[in-house]
A = this chain, B = another copy of it.
Amino acid sequence: MGTSLALALREHDIDVQLSDVRAENVDTAVSLGAGRPGPEGAPGLVVVAVPPSAVSETVVAALREWPEAIVTDLSSVKSEPGRAVAESDGAARYAGSHPMAGSERSGPLAASGQLFEGRAWAVTPGSSSGRRAVEVVHELARLAGAAAIEMDAAEHDQAVALVSHLPHLLSVLAASQLHDAPSAYLELAGPGLRDVTRVAGSDTWLWQQILSGNAEPVRSRLESVRDELDALIAALGSNPAAVGNALTRGKSGTELIPGKHGGTATASVFVQVPDRPGSLSTLMTHAKDSGINVEDFRIEHGLDRPIGIAEMMVPEERADALVDVLANLGWSVYR
C-alpha cells in the first residue's frame, strides 16, 4: 500500500523518498518508479505503511526523528496509534489515515498508483492533532484520488468493526462450517454461498493483526450478533413471526448501504454466455448498442455446461428494454 501511494504521488511529480526494513523492497519500489531511496534531508510528510503491530512505534519514532514533518499512517485500526502518539512529543503533527483500498496481494510488486481512485479514505485526527496535520492528510487523500471522510479514531474503529471486521468474521464462520460436509453437499452451492464466504479467503496473517488491534469494538459487535443468533435459534421452528422479523430487519439493513448512484433502483437481467473468449465482449457490445448503462455485472459458471450466467444490473426502468434488445440479438435472456 505504501508503494501504491508513492506511485500515486509521483503522478503529481511529488518528490517521494522510500525507506523499508527490507532494502530489496526499496529497490523494487524504485524500479517501479515510486520514488528514490531515502531518507535524505527533512521530509515535509512521513507516511508510515507498516504491518499493524508496528504502526505505533514507527509513528512515534518518525515524529521524533523529523521534528518538522507531518506524520500519518495507513493502518486499518486507528485508536491504538492515536493513543500512543497522544503521549509522545510532536503529537500535533500527527493525524491518522485509513484508505479503504487494498487487494489480497501485498508487497511492492502488487502496487498500483490507481489503488485509491474512487475509494473512501478515513482521516482520523486525535484531540492533539494540529489543523495543519489534518489539512495535509486530507490533501494526501485528494492527491491519491480518494474521497476523504473525517471522523475520530474511536468512531473509525467502531465503523470498521461494523462494516468490515464483523462481516469478515461472519464470512469466516460460514466458511468454517463447510469442513465436515460430504462433497455432494457442496455441489448444491450457489452464488449466495460464494458471496457470503468470499472475504473469508483473504490473508489470515494480516487479518489476525487487524482483529487484535480492534478487539474491543469487534467483540462488542460479535456479542450483539450472538444475542440475535440466540434469539434466532430459540425462534426457529416455534416462532415463525420472530424469524420473519429477523429476516425483515436484515433486509432493511441492506438498504442502508449507500447505493452506487445515490440509491436509484436497479434490476437484474440474466443472460447465458458461452464460456469462451469473446462471448462477454460481444454481449457488452450489444448492451452498449442498446444505450443502456450496465451499472453492475457478475458472471457465474454453470455446472457441467460450457456456459456462464451473466447478471447485468441496470436501472429498473430500462431492464425490460435490455431484455428485448438482447433477445432480438439471439441471446438467452431473462429477468
- Please determine whether B280 and A297 come into contact, CB atoms closer than 8 angstroms: yes
- Please determine whether A159 and B188 come into contact, CB atoms closer than 8 angstroms: yes
- Please determine whether A208 and B285 come into contact, CB atoms closer than 8 angstroms: no
Residue of B nearest to A171 (CB): B196
Considering the complex, which residues of chain A in the window 134-169 have a beta carbon less than 8 Å from any beta carbon of chain B? Answer: 145-147, 149, 151, 155-156, 158-160, 162-164, 166-169
- Please determine whether B301 and A298 come into contact, CB atoms closer than 8 angstroms: no
Task: Given the known inter-chain contacts A172-B246, A175-B250, A212-B243, please indicate yes or no for A292 contacting B277, CB distance below 8 A.
Answer: yes
Residues of B within 8 A of A173 (CB): 170, 225, 228-229, 232, 250
CA distance A182 to B158 in the complex (A): 10
- Please determine whether A226 and B237 come into contact, CB atoms closer than 8 angstroms: no
The number of chain A residues touching the other chain, given as a range, is 35 or more
Task: Given the known inter-chain contacts A114-B334, A118-B302, A334-B114, please indicate yes or no for A277 contacting B261, CB distance below 8 A.
Answer: no
- Please determine whether B179 and A254 come into contact, CB atoms closer than 8 angstroms: no
Identify the stretch in A19-27, A36-44, A87-95, A213-221 within 8 Å (CB) of chain B at 4 or more residues: A213-221
> A31: CB under 8 A from chain B?
no
Complex interface bits, A188-221 against B, C-beta within 8 A gives 1, otherwise 0: 1110111111111110110110011001101101
> A178: CB under 8 A from chain B?
yes
> A329: CB under 8 A from chain B?
no
Considering the complex, which residues of chain A in the window 220-270 have a beta carbon less than 8 Å from any beta carbon of chain B? Answer: 221-226, 228-230, 232-233, 236-237, 240, 243-244, 246-258, 260-261, 268, 270
Least Cβ–Cβ distance between A222 and chain B, in angstroms: 5
Partner of A192 from B179, B199, B228, B285 at Cβ < 8 Å: B199
**Main SS of chain A's interface residues?**
helix
Residues of B within 8 A of A275 (CB): 293
Least Cβ–Cβ distance between A90 and chain B, in angstroms: 28
Q: Which of A4, A195, A246, A281 has the most CB of B within 10 A?
A: A281
- Please determine whether B232 and A270 come into contact, CB atoms closer than 8 angstroms: no
Task: Given the known inter-chain contacts A197-B167, A225-B229, A254-B197, please indicate yes or no for A288 contacting B295, CB distance below 8 A.
Answer: no
Residue of B nearest to A158 (CB): B185
Task: Given the known inter-chain contacts A190-B163, A236-B218, A252-B179, please indicate yes or no for A305 contacting B145, CB distance below 8 A.
Answer: yes
- Please determine whether B117 and A178 come into contact, CB atoms closer than 8 angstroms: no
Residues of B within 8 A of A236 (CB): 211, 215, 218-219, 222
CA distance A167 to B178 in the complex (A): 11
Task: Given the known inter-chain contacts A218-B236, A277-B293, please indicate yes or no for A208 contacting B168, CB distance below 8 A.
Answer: no
Identify the stretch in A54-62, A99-107, A125-133 within 8 Å (CB) of chain B at 4 or more residues: A99-107
Apart from the given pairs A146-B303, A172-B247, 4 other A-B contacts in the complex at a CB distance below 8 Å: A112-B332, A169-B232, A198-B254, A200-B253
